[in-house]
Structure 1
Amino acid sequence: MVNRGWIPHDMKDPKLRSAGNPTGPVDVIGMLRHPIRPSSFTPDNVPEKGQWHWIDVGQLADTLRADPIVIDVTDANFPGGLPMADQTTANIRNNHLSYAVTWYMLSASTAAMIFLL
């Protein structure tokens, strides 16, 4: 399954955005998607109406009868600008400063305890 991006609700009819629908083979540049857990504010998916509010890989695979792999397109230039691809972000935590402060404080505390001993 390839997530080509998002479209506005008023453009959900494929005829309205036919310029963005490829007719032949297409090279896909994307990112493999892991399952995510929705927050308590995220509505449930309604597959029978085609409403997907969050990516449930198993539910998508069952509904669409496809392999349970989702790739988010990250590099696309669709004619007409729809669907809007590259909505995926990779956020890697950067806690190096807090780790450094923690370890320096621990070493300072150890040095103080040794000095007092």
Structure 2
Amino acid sequence: MEHLVELGQRVAAARVEKRWSVETAARRAEISRTTWNRVEAGLGVQDVKRAAVLGVLGLDSQGLPIGVAGRSDGAFVSAPGDRVPAGGSSEDVLRAIRAMQEDLRAMSERLARLEQNA
């Protein structure tokens, strides 16, 4: 729950930085204003909708900008998902890639189920 509150704060800050209203941001993410507000408030929403919010803002799953170098933890984020610390081994990179592939597979399955039920 604490993670969602922190994520919501980062989402709100990114939206304000872009000078978007909640309505504009929600429209760009193709979700309702209510859902957008729930994300910013740190409340639970469907993973697909949270991903839409993060995607439209260019944020990773932690609510941090994608592709930002020079972070304090020494990591470089090139895409949503687990981070590989600077100087990480090839095995660490492969592990992160496999985790992302699994996440993408799970998302694809959820989207397919949603499309079938629509």
**TM-score clears 0.5:** no
Q: TM-score, normalised by structure 1?
A: 0.23
Q: TM-score, normalised by structure 2?
A: 0.23
- Higher strand proportion (structure 1 or 2): 1
Relative contact order higher in (CA < 8 Å, ≥ 6 apart):
1
More helix by share: 2
Larger Rg: 1
